[in-house]
Structure 1
Amino acid sequence: MGDDAAGQPDPTVPDAVRTVLVRLAAEVLTTIEPADVPPALRQVQRFAPRRRATAGALPLWSALEGDAAFRARVARVWAGARPEVAARLGRGTSAAPDEGTASGSAAAEPDGQDAAPGGGAPRIADASPLDVAVGAWLLRPGGWDGTLAEAAGQLVAGPADADQQATLADALDALQRAEERTTVLTAQLGEARTRAEQAEEDAAALRREQRRLRSDADRARSEARRAVADAEDVLAQATAARAAADEALESAHALRRVAEAERAQVRQEARVARDLAGVRVRLLLDTLVDAGQGLRAELALPPVGDRPADLVGTSAPVPVERATSRGRAASDPALLDDLLALPHAHLVVDGYNVSKAAWPGLSLAEQRRRLVDALANVAGRTGAEVTCCFDGQEGPRPPGSGPRGVRVLFSVGEIADDLIRRLVGAEPRGRVVVVVTSDRQVADDVEAAGARVVPSATLVARVARL
């Protein structure tokens, strides 16, 4: 269907056409599912069928004018009832007045339509003006407003058409009343059939209920017999389980008695072993005491005259060289070789303390590089674990430039001295840990923790020989 021409108001619709359209819309509204009814017509659909076209005339007309989907639904119903008129309206309408040509008018004539006098809207043969007006308003093909105006003029001018319209209206009223009567009779017949079917269903339901009750009774008796048999089986199983539980309990009591006997035996053996150990210790202690007394008598040791407090002087202590491995001095590079030759030795180096003593004129980065390279040689020759500690953050280093066999650590939130103390404290007692530093405070602390201390100059001399 074509849309309304832009800027053109809807032509005036005659009352007869409006009445037919409203009645047709009321009939179509009856066939629409409630979910598809336009919101404005839901109240009208609840009216009685005979009252929809009169009481709901205004909402129906408004829906026809404003709701294109509802108008299209009504148009499809009208076109299905009058297919020839609908087809001719779709094919034979002429163009708008400003575009009409003689050829266009001539092309419409073979389809059974006659051009209106003066080049107006076409006339459709064998169709009443009322049908043409209703179809033009619903289908709205091109030039439908001229077709509607032409049909409206014929309705007003021809009394015969008016009589035909009245006859058609009466026929529609009679048809509607017949349909309403048919609907009432159909509803009554349906109610009677429904009551009869309901009665039959009730009788069938009663029969089914009777059969069900009989079946339930038979099933209940069968289930009762099965329940008795099941109860007897459960009782037998419970009796067997009780006997098995009694046997298991007796076995558990026997195991408990055996365990208590074994525990008493273990306690007795432990008591004997404890007494034996005490006797052995006492015998060893007596042996040591007797040996000490015999040694004192053999050596003719005099009684102790001085006490430790008498030997503590007030003069300043004289610095002495700490005793080292094989009598070597701490400054002897061979001492470092002896210490690193011990199994699982760990060499911890105070980085800047050594590098500044070895290469004072170089930058810190160059000092670090040279020291780490030298320590890599030491690690490769001795096989010892080597850790070098520096203050601050590590500078940028190219990928793959890390030393082999040397662990390089930089202190974060602390100084390198504290990092060295924590490394020594983490090692187990008895492992050979050698700390290279000239910081006396660090040396005292790590020696107290069990490490060996070597001055920085010793490592510098050792590295110079490589």
Structure 2
Amino acid sequence: MTEAGTAASSAATSLPEPVRQRVLALAAQALGQLPASDIPAPLRRFASFAPAKRAKLSASVLGPILETDEHFRRLTAFQVRREHPELGDAVAEGVPVPAADPVEVAALAYLLRPEDWEQHIAAAAAQVPVEAPRAAEEAVNRLSDQLDQARTETRQVRERLREQVNELKAENVTLRRKLNEARQRISGLQSELEQRTTEAETADERVEAARAEVERELRKLRSRITELEAVEHAARRAAGQERELASTRTRLLLDTLVEAASGLRRELALPPGGELRPADTVAGTEPEAAPVGRTAPDDDPALFDELLSLPQVHLIIDGYNVTKTVWPNSPLHSQRQRLVTALGALVAQRRVEVTVVFDGAELSGPVQLNPPRGVRVRFSPAGVIADEVIRQLVRAEPPGRPVVVVSTDREVAESIITLGARSLSATTLISRIARS
């Protein structure tokens, strides 16, 4: 330790009590004004307290830090000098202030440390009244009384503890006797427990074996029940689908026959049955009826309209065959949406059933498509081409229902003709859509 440090420590420890209290009050006041980074760690928790509470609670920590931490003392002295500029400047510059309180001057001198700071502390100490002997005597008397009282209480406590020890010894003897009896009973119970445990383990093994056998049989029965339920469900579903499909096919066929008969009657202009007109009795040569059928070329738009006017007609379209014919450079998703949108307008005009089949082999994931009302869209499953799905759709229709397939694929056209459907080219559909 340096001489300056030794002198500061000596002076700090011999500060008169009023000076020490004033130093702590000034330092506690300055503590609340300092940044947190300049406050030593032990004092940071006191910085947010009220000034009076801060000075009271931090005194035991603040005094030693002021003695040992020179940097913190200087920061505190700077803040105190800002709070007391006139007296602080006078003390720091060594200017006498006769009217000032010697205790206040000594406290500021201790913090600011001018050259004559020890003289200010000595002057303040000289004015402190000497009452130490009397206070010390009173303190000794007070401590003597407290010591006597403590001795009396100690004797009383010692007697109570001695009585408690005797009681505990007697209780200990009783507990030891009971413990020996309990040990003997426990020994007998342990032997019995071991015997019962052996019997229980044997019984558990038999029970586990029986349980395992029951669980095996139960699993077999559950598996069989699941198989039978699946077979029953599949049979019921197949029967229901067959009944529904047969009913749908019959209803479509009847509607087709009824509408075809009505259309044929209108087309041939047949008179009501049982009514003979006078003109029918006049002899003459009657012209031959024009052939009923499709005399126009397959790509004639008029033929397409004529086929659409057939009762209960089902229009099946080879999707990519049509879109790649008219929009070959567009993305596939754009081709699909443009086609189904155009077919929606056609359905709204003619009220026909329309099914569009796209090849699913070119898809890399789920398709986002919004078909209009009345337009059915199907993608061929994995491993199946769209041509086969079209043939399945034609075969699914009842015999006699008019089915029109739009595709320029010759193989598709030939196969669906053998199934009883009519084939039209993609250009015919595009021409009809263009007129919509």
Same fold per superposition (TM over 0.5)? no
TM range (shorter): 0.3 to 0.5
The normalised TM-score by structure 2 is: 0.34
The normalised TM-score by structure 1 is: 0.32
- Pair member with larger Rg: 1
